[in-house]
């Protein structure tokens, strides 16, 4: 017998009845049901779960991963390219791996060169979002690939993304343009994802998690369908898409929500006969979770970031503590936001354990409830043609 198999020999197994007897004694006559949490109209959670509550043992959500590593992200607001470049370089020197350039006006060739000055494209994941009315993702991606080529970037190592969500930002979704960009990525830039299923618009707090998940996979399914009609297989489309997710302050719900999304998307891919690969989860803090007190935000950020990581985030953006002031981020708030992620890796080692929530009966049960509720709601949306023009 291996040594690790003997770790629990000194602790006899305890059935649910014994645990409940102990709980009832500690409650001193107060009904255990009084501690139930009514998360939403459909979901009620007990305060205590036991292996006897499940018919079969849960398996960890490995998704082919070798670890639980994630990319450390940072927002770079681009008003003036040269000024943004200074923040970018400071962030990269501080350990940022995946900056998100939030563009507030279109960039031309010289503007992109100024923004990415002194950046080594094979070492940094370059992610872009257009925050202006006349969005031109094809033109932006063309400039980016031209810059990558001029820099001698290795197509097999270069990576990044584009926040391109046609169903969100266009009255007549340019799906054919999206299909062309995906084909270009497949042929020349396999590390780039040019479709983002933006789920942040559906975020309404923990009580809306079921609807949020259902709307997210419904939109994703619609993209697979439309791209298939445009000549892009679901397998190929999935390789070049990502989910943009917002998280709130509800620690366990957010862990379970991200885990449930991974299960749900695997079901959608299976329905399309696509090769399974893990859903790419890009996690952001919901802005409404921020407080006027910056110190409160710093403290709160630790549990928010932990929930994202334990849920399986592939990239995480910790909102700087002074975000709510809308005066621009200070060097201090940016440094604290990125260092929090370093602490979760280098001190807490959360990047080493695949699916840390596995084995927690509470999290497993909550994951199941969210997934089951969202799947039922998704089927309703499909029948209603929620994303059909």
User: Does the residue 22 lie in any domain?
Assistant: no
Share of the chain above pLDDT 70, in %: 97
User: Does the residue 346 lie in any domain?
Assistant: yes
Mind listing the pLDDT tens digit for each residue in 205-252?
Answer: 999 999 999 999 999 999 999 999 999 999 999 999 999 999 999 999
Average pLDDT, the chain: 94
pLDDT of residue 60: 86
User: Does the residue 8 lie in any domain?
Assistant: no
Find out whether 361 and 54 touch, Cβ atoms under 8 Å: yes
User: Does the residue 219 lie in any domain?
Assistant: yes
User: Does the residue 79 lie in any domain?
Assistant: yes
Average pLDDT over residues 82-107: 97
Q: Is 28 exposed, middle or buried (0-12, 13-18, 19+ CB in 10 A)?
A: exposed
CATH of the domain at 82: 3.20.20.240
User: Does the residue 64 lie in any domain?
Assistant: no
Domain of residue 75 covers 71-384
User: Does the residue 50 lie in any domain?
Assistant: no
pLDDT at 12 > cutoff 90? no
pTM (two decimals): 0.94
pLDDT at 4 > cutoff 80? no
User: Does the residue 152 lie in any domain?
Assistant: yes
Find out whether 84 and 77 touch, Cβ atoms under 8 Å: yes
Average pLDDT over residues 345-351: 96
Task: Quote the number of domains for the chain.
Answer: 1
E strand residue ranges, the chain: 37-38, 44-45, 71-78, 98-103, 126-130, 160-162, 192-193, 195-198, 241-247, 281-285, 315-317
């Amino acid at each position: 017998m291996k040594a690790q198999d003997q770790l629990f020999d000194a602790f006899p197994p305890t059935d649910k009845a014994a645990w409940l007897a102990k709980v009832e004694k500690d409650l001193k006559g107060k009904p255990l049901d009084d501690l139930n949490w009514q998360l939403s109209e459909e979901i009620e959670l007990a305060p205590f779960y036991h292996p006897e509550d499940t018919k079969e043992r849960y398996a960890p959500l490995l998704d082919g991963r070798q670890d639980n590593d994630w990319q450390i992200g940072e927002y770079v607001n681009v008003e003036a390219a040269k000024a943004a470049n200074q923040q970018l370089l400071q962030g990269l020197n501080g350990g940022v791996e995946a900056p998100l350039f939030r563009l507030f006006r279109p960039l031309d060739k010289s503007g992109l060169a100024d923004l990415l000055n002194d950046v080594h494209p094979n070492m940094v994941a370059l992610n872009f979002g257009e925050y202006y009315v006349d969005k031109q993702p094809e033109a932006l991606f063309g400039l980016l690939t031209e810059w990558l080529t001029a820099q001698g970037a290795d197509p097999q190592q270069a990576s990044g993304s584009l926040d391109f969500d046609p169903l969100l930002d266009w009255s007549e979704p340019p799906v054919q343009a999206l299909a062309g960009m995906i084909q270009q990525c497949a042929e020349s830039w396999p590390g780039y994802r040019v479709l983002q299923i933006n789920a942040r618009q559906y975020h309404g707090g923990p009580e809306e998690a079921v609807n949020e998940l259902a709307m997210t996979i419904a939109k994703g399914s619609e993209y697979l369908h439309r791209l298939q009609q445009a000549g892009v297989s679901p397998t190929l489309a999935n390789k070049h898409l990502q989910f943009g997710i917002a998280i709130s302050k509800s620690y366990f719900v957010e862990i379970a929500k991200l885990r449930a999304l991974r299960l749900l998307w695997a079901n959608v891919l299976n329905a399309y006969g696509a090769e399974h690969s893990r859903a790419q989860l890009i996690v952001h803090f919901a802005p409404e979770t921020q407080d006027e007190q910056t110190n409160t935000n710093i403290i709160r950020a630790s549990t928010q970031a932990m929930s994202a990581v334990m849920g399986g985030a592939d990239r995480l953006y910790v909102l700087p503590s002074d975000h709510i002031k809308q005066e621009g981020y200070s060097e201090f708030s940016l440094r604290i936001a990125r260092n929090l992620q370093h602490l979760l890796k280098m001190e807490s080692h959360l990047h080493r354990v695949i699916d840390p929530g596995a084995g927690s009966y509470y999290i497993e049960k909550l994951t199941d409830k969210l997934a089951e509720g969202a799947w039922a709601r998704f089927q309703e949306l499909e029948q209603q043609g929620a994303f059909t023009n």
